[in-house]
């Protein structure tokens, strides 16, 4: 395979509230160590953060900035003899390390740690492969670390909580230590028969989390816009939950969830934002059971756990409710965690054990990134994903 060019095309964000701009003759990133690969980008997966970060001015550590969190591409360079990848492999790259611009997807060549890379099975199209990585990592860490769910009975998946609890806490970034070590009693981890409620159940992360939870033996309740997504979820055997609640009226949804699962709902995942996370927290309040005039505590454990992917409620957690932020840094800062997740995802894809999201839009070329993000801003991409096919020509 020919050597990659010394310069490349990238998309640059020069300031908040601006569009990404195509830049030619940008330096091709360099590999720093033996666990890194250089990958030529073929298909970019667009995520909500790609438009929300510039619009609202967060998660932008430097300007000009290169964004993009996931892609499918072809390995064009490796170093060292320890990596399991070879030049020419087609791979899924999952880049959660947003501060390392070499790893951003909105460029022609991307550096990736090999423990954050998945071999693309021949049964999975590049468009589908570019749509799954970030959502899978977020779902796996939410369920596996924040809620303690073991995946060992699903295609020999990992027990992420045990992995993490064996680590030296001082090796982890300070901002994720509490969520990894302190907020969940291992005796109260999620397991078969437990209920989980997911608010924003039409998102890709919700779809993956729902599937993994059901495969592990949990019961799933999804809170969604039933008019838009109810029929699609009900017809799809892979995505169909045990219960669906309409999200149109938050107060009514809270009442319904409490009526259906009062005292039984220990785990919640919100994918939308602060308001919905707060509503989900209200849904999870433990109710006393009254016999005569004597309040009797429910038989379920007193702690409940709410994971906020987008934001956590402004109101303090009370009544045994514990808030969790997803410790996403585990994926790119701890190689054994990253490897456990990517190897498991590779196995699930090879065995077709999880359904992939619908691809609702395919844009072309670097200029297609802005077109795709504009469609997401307008709410046109709902219940599926948008990708950008760069169609980067092979070198001769």
Half-sphere exposure of 281 (CA within 13 A, CB side): 23
Mean pLDDT value of segment 370-377? 97
The 8-class DSSP code of residue 29 comes to P
Q: pLDDT by residue (tens digit) across 221-260? A: 999 999 889 888 888 888 899 999 999 999 999 999 999 9
Distance, CA of 376 to CA of 46 (rounded, Å):
9
At 32 the pLDDT is 86
Q: pLDDT at position 247, please?
A: 95
What are the C-alpha distances in Å from 259 to residues 89, 222, 265, 284, 353? 52, 15, 11, 11, 33
Is the pLDDT reported for residue 321 higher than 50?
yes
- pLDDT for 296 equals 41
At residue 1 the predicted structure's pLDDT band, cuts being 50, 70 and 90, is low
Contact at 8 Å (CB) between 148 and 216? no
The residue written with tokens 């992420």 in the block is 160
% of residues, the chain, pLDDT over 70: 94
Phi, psi angles (nearest 5°) of residue 244:
-125, 135
Distance, CA of 366 to CA of 176 (rounded, Å): 34
pLDDT band at 58 (very low <50, low <70, confident <90, very high): very high
- pLDDT category, 286, cuts 50, 70, 90? low
Pairing of strands 109-113, 90-94: unpaired
pLDDT of residue 65: 97
Task: Check if the beta carbon of residue 148 is closer than 8 Å to that of residue 190.
Answer: yes
Beta bridge partners of 23: 10
For 390, other C-beta atoms within 10 Å of its C-beta total 23
CB atoms within 10 A of CB 64: 16
- Alpha helices, DSSP H only, in the chain? 49-56, 126-129, 133-141, 160-165, 174-181, 204-215, 231-235, 250-261, 274-283, 329-333, 335-350, 367-377
For residue 391, what pLDDT is reported? Answer: 79
pLDDT bin (cut points 50, 70, 90) of residue 2 is: low
How many angstroms separate the Cα of 144 from the Cα of each of 112, 161, 237, 331?
Answer: 24, 6, 23, 12
d(CA 83, CA 103): 17
Nearest residue to 377 (alpha-carbon basis) of 361, 354, 393:
361
- Count Cβ atoms below 10 Å from residue 166 Cβ, excluding itself: 8
359 strand-pairing partners: 385
Q: Regarding predicted confidence, which is higher, 79 or 105?
A: 105
3-class state of residue 217 by DSSP: coil
As a whole number of Å, the CA-based R_g of the chain is 21
Q: What is the predicted pLDDT for the residue at 145?
A: 98
CA distance 345 to 388: 22
The model's pLDDT over 145-196, given as tens digits with 9 standing for 90+, comes to 999 999 999 999 999 999 999 999 999 999 999 999 999 999 999 999 999 9
pLDDT range class, residue 395, cuts 50, 70, 90: very low
Nearest to 66 by CA among 54, 78, 52: 54
Rounded Cα distance between 307 and 326, Å, is: 7
**pLDDT average, residue stretch 307-317:** 94
* Separation of alpha carbons 352 and 272, rounded Å: 28
Mean pLDDT confidence for 82-97: 94
- Token readout for 19 is 């569009």
Tokens representing 210? 């729902």
Q: What confidence tier does 5 reach under pLDDT thresholds 50, 70, 90?
A: confident
Nearest 5°: phi and psi at 155?
55, 40
Query: Cβ distance 153 to 141 under 8 Å?
Result: no
């Amino acid at each position: 395979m020919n050597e990659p060019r010394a310069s490349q095309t990238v998309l640059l964000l020069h300031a908040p509230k601006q569009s990404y701009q195509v830049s030619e003759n940008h330096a091709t990133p360099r590999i720093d160590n033996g666990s890194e690969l250089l990958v030529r980008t073929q298909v970019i997966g667009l995520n909500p953060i790609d438009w929300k970060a510039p619009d609202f001015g967060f998660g932008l550590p430097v300007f000009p900035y290169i964004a993009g969190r996931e892609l499918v591409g072809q390995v064009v360079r490796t170093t060292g003899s320890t990596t399991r990848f070879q030049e020419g492999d087609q791979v899924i790259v999952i880049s959660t390390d947003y501060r390392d611009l070499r790893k951003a997807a909105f460029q022609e060549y991307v550096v990736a740690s090999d423990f954050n890379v998945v071999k693309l099975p021949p049964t999975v199209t590049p468009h589908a492969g570019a749509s799954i990585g970030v959502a899978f990592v977020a779902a796996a860490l939410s369920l596996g670390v924040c809620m303690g769910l073991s995946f060992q009975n699903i295609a020999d998946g990992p027990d992420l909580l045990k992995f993490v609890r064996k680590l030296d806490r001082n090796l982890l970034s300070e901002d994720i230590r509490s969520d990894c070590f302190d907020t969940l009693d291992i005796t109260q981890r999620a397991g078969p028969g437990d209920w989980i409620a997911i608010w924003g159940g039409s998102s890709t992360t919700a779809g993956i989390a729902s599937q993994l939870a059901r495969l592990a033996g949990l019961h799933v309740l999804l809170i969604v816009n039933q008019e838009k997504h109810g029929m699609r979820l009900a017809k799809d055997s892979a995505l169909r939950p045990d219960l669906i609640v309409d999200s149109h009226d938050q107060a009514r949804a809270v009442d319904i969830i409490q009526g259906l699962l009062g005292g039984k709902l220990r785990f919640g995942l919100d994918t939308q934002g602060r308001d919905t996370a707060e509503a989900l927290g209200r849904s999870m309040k433990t109710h006393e059971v009254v016999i005569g005039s004597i309040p009797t505590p429910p038989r379920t454990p007193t702690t409940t756990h709410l994971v906020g992917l987008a934001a956590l409620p402004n109101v303090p957690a009370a009544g045994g409710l514990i808030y969790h932020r997803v410790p996403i840094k585990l994926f790119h800062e701890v190689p054994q965690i990253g490897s456990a997740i990517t190897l498991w995802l590779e196995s699930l894809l090879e065995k077709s054990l999880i359904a992939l999201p619908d691809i609702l839009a395919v844009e072309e070329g670097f200029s297609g990134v802005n077109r795709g993000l504009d469609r997401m801003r307008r709410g046109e991409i709902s219940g599926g994903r948008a990708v950008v096919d760069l169609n980067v020509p092979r070198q001769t």
